[in-house]
Homo-oligomer: A and B are copies of this chain.
Amino acid sequence: MQLKELSEHSGVSAASIKYYLREGMLPAGQTVHATRAQYSARHVERLNLIQALRRIVGLNIEQIRGLLKMADDGAPRLTLLAAVQRVVLDLGASTTSSGGVRAPAGDAVVRLRNWPDYPSDARSALNAHLELMENLNIRVSSELLDTYSKAMDDVAGLDIAVTTAPDSVDQLILTAAVGLHLHSQLLLKLLALAQASHAIRRYEQDA
Contacts and interface: CB of A to CB of B under 8 A. Distances in A.
Given A81-B199, A163-B199, A202-B160, A180 B194 contact: no
Interface in A161-176: 163-164, 175
B147 A85 contact: no
A194 B138 contact: no
A74 interface: no
A164 B199 contact: yes
Most chain B CB atoms below 10 A, which of A52, A55, A93, A198: A198
Contacts of A193: 106, 109-110, 115, 120, 122-123, 126, 152
Nearest to A127: B189
Interface string A30-60: 0000000000000000000000100110100
Interface stretch (A3-11, A14-22, A62-70, A128-136): A128-136
B153 A194 contact: yes
Given A159-B195, A195-B180, A187 B185 contact: no
A156 to B, nearest CB: 4
A204 interface: yes
Given A122-B189, A129-B189, A197 B140 contact: no
A58 B92 CA distance: 8
Contact of A144 (B58, B110, B155, B163): B155
A126 B182 contact: no
A191 interface: yes
B182 A129 contact: yes
30 contacts: A58-B92, A78-B199, A81-B195, A88-B188, A89-B188, A92-B181, A92-B188, A109-B190, A115-B197, A120-B196, A121-B192, A122-B195, A126-B189, A126-B192, A126-B193, A129-B185, A133-B182, A138-B175, A147-B155, A155-B191, A156-B191, A156-B195, A156-B198, A157-B198, A164-B199, A180-B188, A183-B188, A184-B184, A184-B191, A187-B188
